[in-house]
Amino acid sequence: MTAQILVVDDETDMTRLLQRTLEPELGCKVTMAFSGEMALDILDQTAFDLVVCDIKMPGMDGFELLDRIKAGYPDLTVVMLTAFGNIESAVKAIKAGAYDFIAKPFEREEIIFKIQKALERSLLLKENKRLLKDREADPHDLIGKSEPMQRVFDQIRMVAASDVTVLITGESGTGKDLTARSIHALSPRREEAFISVNCPTIPEFILESELFGYKKGAFTNATQDRDGLFQEADKGTIFLDEIGDIGPSIQTKLLRVLQEKEIKPLGDTKIRKVDVRIIASTNRNLKQKMADNEFRQDFFYRLNVLPIELPPLRDRIMDIPMIADHLVAKHCKKMKKDPKTISEPVMDLLMKQPWPGNVRELENILVQGILYSKDDTLRLADIPIRDMDEGKKRSMDPSAMETLSYKTAKEKILKEFNHSYIGARLSMAGGNITRAAGMCEMDRQALQQIMKRYEIDPDKFR
């Protein structure tokens, strides 16, 4: 789908320059508005992925427009244009809720890079929102009869009855979110709110105000008091997903919540008591982060009261048939397709895979299989898993070779997708594999395996 960008500037030449620059380079569609009022009229009629707005305009200036956008379209990403060297305006724009700013006059490469990053951020927020909506539906997706999973189920039942803090660890895709939802669903707080916060997707200077709220006047354009997520979760549960990615400042403030069960909104002189059950998760090695002075020890021990470690899929192979059948039935229903079964050769192949992305990777493969399948059975030709070696190819009959050719074509599509998707995240992370892995919701090792498989060089993005 083509990205939609709204450019707002009273200078006609500037808006047209941006249109001529961005559309061919980014493959996007640029709509022009020449005033704040005109921009709001357009936003009422069309959905956009990004707004690029000049600060200095007659009538409604960029700050007022930004305020109106944040009020009416809180998830919309905004980049501000400001005169060169006007750092004060740039800082003001960021504090008011802009994602980034660009100084005029700008270099062509600079604006393309910054707009691309802003678009990627916007698309990432949309994807996270979609994933969150999907995950809210069914904590029963956490299934398995293996001994490791039976231990996990026993731990869930045990911790659900108490009210202490839980730290869920495990590789990306193992079901940390579902585990947190299951704990809440079995707890005495089940009738109250469950608030999930994906920590790495929210910039740290925004995360504090999102968690704790703020008072009117706490910062520029804080025009009214606003409750934070802890207040919304009062009497219920708050789930801090991927807490290993937050910085020391937020760690310190969360430590106070854990110790005292109280928060202090930005700009407020009063302390507020909250009754919230905290569940956190991470795919990071927090002990190593403590050794590297990146994670507070006192915060870790407050979090790690009742730990639950989720096993990777490779350590519970016997669960794969049950999980695969469940996921195929779920997604056939979701996509309004007739029920499908999994052929024996496909199931054998699924059980032989290493699954670095765990259940999430398995789910993605099965969803693609459902889309490719032409009848009521998932066959080898429908499953986009890497081809076998050359020796096995030579011994295959012609019909099997035809199947292999089909899989090879799909492998090419997967390679192109991964180069595009992972390349975008590496670009956002400046080539830092750890940060890019966090954006992809997988651990560093899993991302490195995928990069190795598809020959993606991180040095090209530094």
- Of the listed ranges 7-11, 209-213, 303-307, 392-396, the one predicted with least confidence: 392-396
pTM exceeds 0.75 for this model: no
Structure tokens at 18: 């941006």
CA triple 199-200-201, angle to 5 deg = 95
| Residue scoring higher pLDDT (141 or 281) | 281
Distance from chain centroid for Cα 433: 16
How does residue 124 score in pLDDT terms, banded at 50, 70 and 90? low
Q: Are 192 and 231 in contact (CB under 8 A)?
A: no
Q: Which residue has the tokens 């293996």?
A: 146
Listed as own residue / partner, the contacts of 91-98 with beta carbons closer than 8 Å and 24 or more positions apart are 92/63, 92/220, 93/55, 93/62, 93/63, 93/66, 94/205, 95/205, 95/219, 95/220, 95/221, 96/63, 96/66, 96/67, 96/70, 96/219, 96/220, 96/221, 97/66, 97/67, 97/70, 97/206, 97/221, 98/66
CA-to-CA dists, residue 87 to 203, 416, 425, angstroms: 20, 40, 28
Q: Which residues, 6 or more positions from 344, have their beta carbon under 8 angstroms from its beta carbon?
A: none
Fold held by 4-122: Rossmann fold (3.40.50)
- Classified as helix, coil or strand, 97 is coil
What is residue 25's predicted lDDT score, i.e. its pLDDT? 85
CA-to-CA dists, residue 119 to 48, 102, 116, 308, angstroms: 10, 14, 5, 36
Residue 371 has, within 13 A of its CA and on its CB side, a CA count of 8
- Of the listed ranges 131-140, 312-321, 323-332, the one predicted with least confidence: 131-140
What is residue 277's predicted lDDT score, i.e. its pLDDT? 96
Residue 387 has pLDDT above 80, yes or no: no
Residue 396 has pLDDT above 50, yes or no: no
Top-level CATH class of 386-462?
A: mainly alpha
Q: Are 104 and 79 in contact (CB under 8 A)?
A: no
What is residue 252's predicted lDDT score, i.e. its pLDDT? 93
What is residue 399's predicted lDDT score, i.e. its pLDDT? 42
Give every strand in the sheet of 194-198, ordered side by side: 194-198, 237-241, 277-282, 166-169, 306-309
What is residue 99's predicted lDDT score, i.e. its pLDDT? 84
pLDDT in tens, 22-49: 998 888 899 999 999 999 999 988 889 9
User: How do 166-169 and 277-282 pair as beta strands?
Assistant: parallel
Q: Are 245 and 199 in contact (CB under 8 A)?
A: yes
DSSP letter at 93 equals H
Residue 393 has pLDDT above 50, yes or no: no
How does residue 269 score in pLDDT terms, banded at 50, 70 and 90? confident
What is residue 413's predicted lDDT score, i.e. its pLDDT? 58
Instruction: For residue 143, give the nearest of 4, 275, 319 by alpha carbon.
Output: 319
Pairwise CA distance, residues 261 & 278, whole Å: 10
Residue 102 has pLDDT above 90, yes or no: no
Q: Are 241 and 281 in contact (CB under 8 A)?
A: yes
Pairwise CA distance, residues 269 & 415, whole Å: 54
CA-to-CA dists, residue 178 to 40, 116, 123, angstroms: 39, 32, 23
What is residue 231's predicted lDDT score, i.e. its pLDDT? 93
Using omega within 30 degrees of 0 as the cis cutoff, is the peptide bond preceding 265 cis? Answer: no
What is residue 406's predicted lDDT score, i.e. its pLDDT? 40
Residues 55-72, mean pLDDT to the nearest whole number: 89
Q: Are 122 and 102 in contact (CB under 8 A)?
A: no
Q: What percent of the chain has pLDDT over 90?
A: 47
Residues 218-246, mean pLDDT to the nearest whole number: 88
Angle between helices 176-186 and 147-161 (to 10 degrees): 40
Residue 414 has pLDDT above 70, yes or no: no
Query: Domain 137-311 is of which CATH architecture?
Result: 3-Layer(aba) Sandwich (3.40)
Q: Which residue has the tokens 């069960």?
A: 261
Residue 394 has pLDDT above 50, yes or no: no
Residue 455 has pLDDT above 90, yes or no: no
Q: Check if 315-384 and 386-462 are the same fold.
A: no
Structure tokens at 342: 């999994």
- Of the listed ranges 219-228, 234-243, 428-437, the one predicted with least confidence: 219-228
What is residue 85's predicted lDDT score, i.e. its pLDDT? 59
Residue 204 has pLDDT above 50, yes or no: yes
| Residue scoring higher pLDDT (84 or 383) | 383
Average pLDDT, the chain: 84
Pairwise CA distance, residues 435 & 433, whole Å: 6
pLDDT in tens, 328-342: 999 999 899 999 999
Q: Are 55 and 63 in contact (CB under 8 A)?
A: yes
How does residue 302 score in pLDDT terms, banded at 50, 70 and 90? very high
Pairwise CA distance, residues 20 & 12, whole Å: 12
Residue 284 has, within 13 A of its CA and on its CB side, a CA count of 24
Distance from chain centroid for Cα 425: 11
Pairwise CA distance, residues 437 & 425, whole Å: 8
Residues 279-304, mean pLDDT to the nearest whole number: 95
Top-level CATH class of 315-384?
A: mainly alpha
What is residue 281's predicted lDDT score, i.e. its pLDDT? 97
What is residue 95's predicted lDDT score, i.e. its pLDDT? 79
How does residue 87 score in pLDDT terms, banded at 50, 70 and 90? low
| Residue scoring higher pLDDT (433 or 230) | 230
Q: What are phi and psi of 86, to 5 degrees?
A: -90, 70
- Of the listed ranges 2-11, 82-91, 103-112, 302-311, the one predicted with least confidence: 82-91
Q: Which of 167-171, 343-347, 380-384, 448-452 has the highest mean pLDDT?
A: 167-171
Pairwise CA distance, residues 141 & 353, whole Å: 20
- Of the listed ranges 364-368, 392-396, 425-429, the one predicted with least confidence: 392-396
pLDDT in tens, 126-156: 655 554 444 444 456 788 889 999 999 999 9
